Amino acid sequence: MRAIVVDTPSDQLDALQVRDVPEPVAGCEEILIKVAYCGCNWADTQVRSGIYPHHINYPLIPGMEVSGTVSAKGKAVTGLSVGDRVTTLVSGGGYAEVCAADASVVTRLPHGMGLDVAAAYPVQALTAYYMLHTVYKLRAGETVLVHAAGGGVGLFVTQLAVRLGARVIGTVGTPGKENLALRYGADTVINLNETNFVSTVLELTDGKGVDLAIDSLGAKTLDRTFDAVRFLGGIINIGEAEGTPFKNIRDRVLARSQSFTRISIHHMLGLPDLWHEGNDYLLRGVGEGWLDVPIVKRFSLERAHDMHAEIQGRGISGKLLLEVGGG
């Protein structure tokens, strides 16, 4: 089968090599998926560059979320059949024509859902779901600050928060990326390069600060974010797109008795019931029409380096997909 292989970590885009590699074999509790699409995430660029915060071994095949059809299954797998249209999260291996997946967290697609949409939501929308429904439990009337509101996770956080009856204040770093967030119901979107977001947030919240802040930027933006969150409020970090933040989190949360967490969607793989709860909620949202999955561009295996270049440029507002088999 054809796949994208990264032999050793590199900042260079040509580290993504198209190769013929052996097809994986399904373990006892696994299925094989004939991949139609694989979603592209910022974490994929970290994996390629060798700065992903969790330990991984090289060489490897990147790719964390896939859609496609079941092509084989292990002896202990029940509830899934060869030919089923599915979506799931994987711990790598998605940039390939065939991918192995843990059957317990595979979701059959509702009738009528496109395989492109099915690969465009798992990492980002489920991350948004667990932050707002599990880690913090956002309530109607609360206010959430969403950094990178025009990015993939930010757009899903905005939609889910609005659905819960919360108010959304977003930030962006690129002019124009505020448009989709505002269309999805964000109350205000601040340009980080033009405005002091802390003072603006405090002004918009009568000096109290927001109830919850979602940060994917790290570096100095995360450091300043604590000042924009109320006493006993929460901060959730999901990435370091701007660089590694300060080390002493304890000093920052002590100032206002705040709560801080760093969430990884992959930890949900060990909690199948919670995993399916999130999937069911999101798939209902797509089916009912209140949750939009914005797909911007599709790339072939041969153009995976262009896909990484585009996401690293941070100018997109929506999802990039690797089109492997289509459908």
The predicted structure's pLDDT at residue 272: 87
The predicted structure's pLDDT at residue 264: 86
Residue with tokens 């370091």: 240
Tell me which residue of 163, 158, 169 sits closest to 140, measured CA to CA.
163
26-61: pLDDT as tens digits = 999 999 999 999 999 999 999 999 988 888 899 999
The predicted structure's pLDDT at residue 82: 97
Residue 291 confidence (pLDDT) above 90: yes
Tell me which residue of 100, 95, 102, 71 sits closest to 84, measured CA to CA.
71
For the chain, give the mean pLDDT: 94
Q: Which amino acid is at 295?
A: I
88-113: pLDDT as tens digits = 999 899 999 999 999 999 999 999 99
The predicted structure's pLDDT at residue 24: 97
Q: 39-43, 239-243, 315-319: which range is least confident on average?
A: 239-243
Q: 230-234, 255-259, 265-269: which range is least confident on average?
A: 265-269
Residue 246 confidence (pLDDT) above 80: no
String of DSSP letters for 71-103 = EEE-TT--S--TT-EEEEE-SS--SBSEEEEEG
Residue with tokens 């999937």: 279
Residue with tokens 């701007």: 242
The predicted structure's pLDDT at residue 155: 97
